[in-house]
């Protein structure tokens, strides 16, 4: 789980409230906001925010990784390598360092 | 610099009246190169964009009385400044050279492909949307409403199955229709009227500025550009700011007239803080004022949305696209069930945490084996021929005739050496690369190796040229152009140049493998890879900047297209033959001249401290190592020649330790000459020289350590 402080950085009020809400959910054992690296294989999540540098952020945005978009994590490379997600029907490989800066929210529809 | 003076194309004799210049644009892997191949056949040439390390594919064809010049732009995802390819592409597209863009779109990945289309729309160039891989889409029980698409974009939209050639010629018919009949103020028509009138260049230039800067004039009755405000509307707040910026830009049109970008594109890019567009505007005072204005706007918008501007705009575009796609996508049957295909299975296997690495090793071995066995076979045939002809020439003209030496031994010897020693390896190698690239394996290797490569300061993509390096370092170094930043390119070429190529392997196999056994080959390899690791670490520390993260699309596997592979192999080999061979021949002549005047004899003396005293090799090897710069396997060839002339064998000539040291030095000491040239092309000459010196230093250092290590251990 990412520490909540990191999440606050640069988040606007709406997201802040969401995070607080999530913190409460977390107490019940259902963390909803996390970074992409923490997701399970095959989990479908919604992108909340990309906390990366300008270049990487632009690139990701151009490829469709923007807040609000649904992505599915499909692969984890061995030895803490990159991971693969499906975004808008195409597979994208993202380095682990960058993936840890992508904050996602677990879809409410999915169980955990 | 992103500005273009109108280039006067008519200097190129062919392109005057009936020439239509087309740019093929689209995402990577959408079948662009297949379409390009079908259109141009064997007329294609491959080169670099002027002054850039980006590949330029060009070709032509004649159809219905028109001459089509077609440029295949690099596959890109957007028109930002993320990579050099994007900058080159957008500069070219807006230049006067382009009459029409054919935007190739992958039907199975509509949303992401249309993102690029939306960006191209902003450039206001006549465009055709070619929707490729319709067969795959229909297989999924989906279809597209082409009429609606045409209505939305107000552009011709054509279905295509490029692999079967369906729809490719309709593209050209549509192109003629669009450029010649429906868009009378296109570059094409301007060129035509210019050819038939006496007006000077200047007049048309003025007209051009006027036309581009005023959108109302630009929209003709017969040809309608899509209403950008309607299609690519970024939302009220953003549009308001863009329109103010456009007003400001238009007011000072004369100041920025040297660039062909439409004002709206400039305004958006200003908001996005695009470094290339900023350069245009910083040139004068008004520009700086507009930059200030856009900066204020950007901050306001980012404050308002709580996101950075690129994300805001991209989100808006993707929202629009979602609406468009929902509207035009027709679902024929009920929800299609996703099943595991062969492609998925191979994908799973090649990215598996155990099998993935095994397959990677097999692929590397395969590349090496294929390149080596075919190259060795053909090279052997050629060498035999050359020896026979050589004996004939020497017998007829005298062996010591100075001209025979220079022209035959030097020039033609160099040529045969280049063909027999390099080209025969390079061609099969190109074939393997093309197969690997077309099938879609290489990104999997990058996926598996990303973690390891990160410790060397580059991301996983570097493994792609490095894998290719096992075949031949020369094209592998050229392949380093896929790296996005200058820093990564520099590290990549250095690492790639240290990979033992097929030619180096002949030396190692022929010397160590033959006389000392497999065990020692393994040790040499371990040393070689340790050196690669050290160099990577060293460069990572010394080169300024940071390691960027991997962002890469993983395409599905597909059966390689045989025709495309053969054509690409030919085009690449052709480039190599015309560009690299002449240099090798000239070098051969120079070396021969040096030999005639005994200029190389002092080299042995100069190198004596290094070769004999430090490395413990016979001093004659100094000259061999110099030859090895030209072709690495020459070191072994010359050694064998020496052994023959002394009526002894290599095992008598060299002790086991000397063999190991000699092989190791050959592996590491310097990239071959062609590789150095390509390193310089990818980076610069200074860097190429630095790499060469670094590698020589390392080779000498490690060779010496091993020699003395043996001395000490055998002493005990």
Indicate which CATH number applies to the domain containing B29: 3.40.50.300
Percent of chain A at pLDDT > 70 equals 67
Q: A89 vs chain B: nearest CA distance in angstroms?
A: 6
CA B377 to chain centre: 29
Does A25 map to a domain?
yes
Residue A82 has its nearest CB partner, among B307, B550, B555, at: B550
pLDDT bin (cut points 50, 70, 90) of residue A107 is low
Range of the domain at B266: 228-331
Contact B72, B82 (CB under 8 A): no
Q: Are B320 and B401 part of one and the same domain?
A: no
Q: Considering only CB atoms, which chain B residues are within 8 Å of A74?
A: none
Query: Which residue, B331, B366, B384, sits at the end of a domain?
Result: B331
Contact of B457 with chain A, judged by CB distance below 8 Å, is answered with: no
Q: Are B194 and B243 part of one and the same domain?
A: no
The set of residues, in sequence order, having a beta carbon less than 8 Å from that of B453 and lying 6+ positions away, is B459, B460, B462, B463
- Whether ipTM > 0.90 holds is no
Does B345 map to a domain?
no
Question: What's the DSSP call for residue B42?
Answer: G
Report the distance separating Cα B102 and Cα B514, nearest Å: 56
Q: Are B414 and B315 part of one and the same domain?
A: no
Mean pLDDT of chain A: 76
Q: Considering only CB atoms, which chain A residues are within 8 Å of B449?
A: 81
Q: Do A95 and B450 lie within an 8 Å CB cutoff?
A: yes
Q: Are B211 and B235 part of one and the same domain?
A: no
Q: Are B284 and B376 part of one and the same domain?
A: no
Q: Within 13 Å and on the Cβ side, how many CA atoms surround B394? A: 11
Contact of B553 with chain A, judged by CB distance below 8 Å, is answered with: yes
Contact B583, B676 (CB under 8 A): no
Q: Are B557 and B700 part of one and the same domain?
A: yes
Does A111 map to a domain?
no
Percent of chain A at pLDDT > 90 equals 7
Quick: pLDDT tens for A27-46.
Answer: 555 557 888 888 888 888 89
In chain B, residues 102-161 whose CB comes closer than 8 Å to chain A: 108-109, 111-112, 115
Does A87 map to a domain?
yes
Size of interface A-B (CB pairs under 8 A): 135
Suggest the residue from A77, A79, A97 to mutate for an interface test with chain B (most B CBs closer than 10 A).
A77
Does A73 map to a domain?
yes
Does B338 map to a domain?
no
Contact of B307 with chain A, judged by CB distance below 8 Å, is answered with: yes
Does A112 map to a domain?
no
Does A56 map to a domain?
yes
Minimal CA–CA distance to B91: which of B60, B117, B58, B54? B54
Q: What residues of chain A have any CB closer than 8 angstroms to a CB in chain B?
A: 10-12, 14-15, 49-50, 52, 54-64, 66-69, 75, 77-82, 84, 88-98
Quick: pLDDT tens for A94-103.
Answer: 998 899 999 9
Does B350 map to a domain?
no
Q: Do A15 and B306 lie within an 8 Å CB cutoff?
A: yes
CA B597 to chain centre: 42
Into how many domains does chain B fold?
3
Report pLDDT for B325. 87
Residue B380 host element (H or E): helix B355-397
Q: B345 vs chain A: nearest CA distance in angstroms?
A: 13
Q: Which segments in chain B show pLDDT lower than 50?
A: 1-15, 196-225, 228-229
Contact of B82 with chain A, judged by CB distance below 8 Å, is answered with: yes
Contact of B485 with chain A, judged by CB distance below 8 Å, is answered with: no
Q: Are B208 and B286 part of one and the same domain?
A: no
Tell me how many degrees the CA angle B623-B625-B631 measures, rounded to the nearest 5: 115
Q: A108 vs chain B: nearest CA distance in angstroms?
A: 22
Does B349 map to a domain?
no
Range of the domain at A68: 4-106
Q: Are B193 and B260 part of one and the same domain?
A: no
Does B36 map to a domain?
yes
Suggest the residue from A7, A58, A97 to mutate for an interface test with chain B (most B CBs closer than 10 A).
A58
Does B251 map to a domain?
yes
Q: Considering only CB atoms, which chain B residues are within 8 Å of A78?
A: 353, 356, 448, 451
Q: Do A90 and B80 lie within an 8 Å CB cutoff?
A: no
Return the CATH number at A67. 2.30.30.90
Does A68 map to a domain?
yes
Into how many domains does chain A fold?
1
Nearest CA in chain B to A55: B82
Q: Are B313 and B368 part of one and the same domain?
A: no
């Amino acid at each position: 789980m990412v520490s909540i402080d990191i999440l606050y950085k640069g988040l606007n009020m709406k997201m802040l409230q969401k995070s607080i809400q999530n913190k409460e959910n977390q107490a019940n054992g259902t963390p909803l906001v996390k970074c992409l690296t923490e997701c399970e294989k095959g989990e479908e999540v919604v992108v909340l925010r990309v906390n990366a540098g300008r270049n990487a952020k632009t690139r990701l945005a151009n490829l469709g990784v923007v807040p609000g978009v649904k992505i599915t994590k499909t692969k984890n490379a061995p030895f803490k390598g990159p991971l693969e997600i499906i975004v808008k029907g195409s597979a994208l490989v993202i380095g682990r360092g960058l993936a840890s800066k992508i904050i996602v929210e677990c879809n409410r529809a999915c169980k955990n | 610099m992103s500005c273009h003076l109108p280039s006067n194309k008519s200097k190129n004799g062919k392109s005057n009246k009936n020439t239509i210049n087309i740019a093929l644009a689209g995402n990577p892997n959408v079948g662009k190169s297949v379409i390009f191949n079908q259109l141009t056949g064997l007329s294609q040439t491959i080169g670099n964009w002027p002054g850039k390390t980006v590949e330029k594919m060009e070709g032509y064809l004649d159809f219905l009385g028109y001459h089509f010049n077609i440029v295949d732009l690099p596959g890109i995802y957007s028109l930002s400044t993320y990579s050099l390819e994007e900058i080159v592409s957008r500069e070219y597209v807006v230049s006067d050279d382009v009459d029409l863009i054919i935007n190739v779109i992958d039907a199975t990945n509509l949303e992401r492909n249309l993102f690029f289309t939306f960006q191209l729309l902003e450039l206001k160039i006549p465009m055709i949307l070619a929707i490729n891989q319709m067969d795959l889409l229909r297989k999924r029980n989906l279809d597209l409403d082409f009429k609606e698409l045409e209505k939305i974009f107000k552009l011709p939209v054509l279905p295509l199955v490029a692999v079967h050639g369906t729809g490719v010629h309709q593209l050209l018919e549509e192109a003629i229709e669009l450029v010649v009949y429906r868009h009378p103020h296109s570059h094409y028509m301007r060129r035509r009227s210019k050819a038939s009138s006496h007006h000077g260049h200047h007049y048309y230039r003025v007209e051009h500025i006027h036309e581009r800067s005023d959108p109302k004039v630009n929209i003709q009755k017969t040809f309608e550009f899509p209403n950008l405000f309607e299609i690519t509307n970024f939302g009220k707040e953003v549009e308001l700011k863009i329109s103010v910026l456009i007003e400001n830009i238009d007011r000072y049109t004369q100041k920025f007239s040297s660039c062909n970008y439409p004002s709206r594109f400039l305004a958006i890019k200003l908001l996005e803080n695009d470094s290339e567009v900023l350069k245009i505007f910083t040139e004068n005072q008004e520009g700086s004022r507009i930059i200030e204005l856009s900066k204020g706007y950007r901050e306001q918008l980012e404050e308002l949305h709580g996101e950075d501007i690129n994300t805001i705009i991209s989100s808006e575009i993707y929202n629009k696209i979602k609406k468009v796609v929902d509207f035009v996508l027709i679902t024929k049957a009920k929800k299609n069930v996703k099943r595991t295909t062969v492609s998925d299975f191979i994908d799973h296997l090649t990215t598996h945490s155990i099998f993935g690495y095994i397959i990677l090793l097999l692929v590397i071995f395969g590349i090496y084996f294929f390149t080596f066995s075919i190259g060795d076979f053909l090279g052997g045939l050629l060498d035999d021929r050359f020896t026979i002809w050589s004996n004939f020439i020497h017998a007829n003209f005298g062996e010591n005739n100075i001209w025979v030496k220079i022209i035959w031994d030097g020039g033609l010897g160099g040529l045969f050496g280049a063909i027999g020693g390099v080209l025969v390896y390079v061609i099969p190698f190109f074939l393997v690369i093309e197969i690997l690239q077309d099938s879609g394996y290489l990104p999997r290797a990058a996926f598996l190796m990303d973690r390891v490569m990160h410790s060397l300061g580059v991301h996983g993509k570097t493994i792609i040229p490095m894998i290719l390096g096992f075949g031949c370092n020369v094209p592998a170094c050229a392949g380093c152009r896929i790296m996005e930043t200058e820093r990564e390119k520099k590290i990549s070429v250095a690492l790639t140049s240290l990979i033992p190529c097929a030619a180096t392997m002949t030396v190692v196999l022929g010397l160590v493998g033959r006389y000392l056994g497999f065990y020692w080959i393994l040790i040499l390899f371990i040393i070689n890879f340790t050196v690669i690791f050290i160099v990577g670490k060293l460069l990572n520390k010394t080169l300024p900047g940071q390691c960027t993260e991997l962002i890469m699309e993983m395409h599905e596997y597909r059966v390689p297209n045989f025709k495309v592979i053969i054509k690409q192999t030919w085009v690449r080999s052709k480039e190599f033959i015309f560009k690299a061979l002449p240099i090798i021949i000239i070098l051969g002549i120079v070396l021969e001249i040096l030999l005639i005047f005994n200029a190389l004899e002092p080299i042995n003396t100069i190198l004596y401290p290094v070769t004999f005293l430090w490395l413990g090799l016979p001093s004659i090897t100094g000259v061999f190592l110099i030859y090895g710069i030209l072709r690495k396997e020459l070191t072994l060839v010359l050694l064998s020649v020496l052994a023959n002339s002394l009526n002894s064998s290599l095992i008598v000539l060299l002790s086991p330790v000397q063999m190991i040291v000699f092989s190791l030095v050959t592996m590491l000491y310097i990239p071959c000459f062609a590789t150095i040239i390509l390193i310089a092309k990818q980076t610069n000459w200074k860097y190429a020289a630095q790499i060469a010196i670094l590698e020589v230093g390392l080779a000498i250092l490690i060779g010496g350590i091993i020699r003395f290590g043996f001395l000490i251990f055998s002493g005990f």
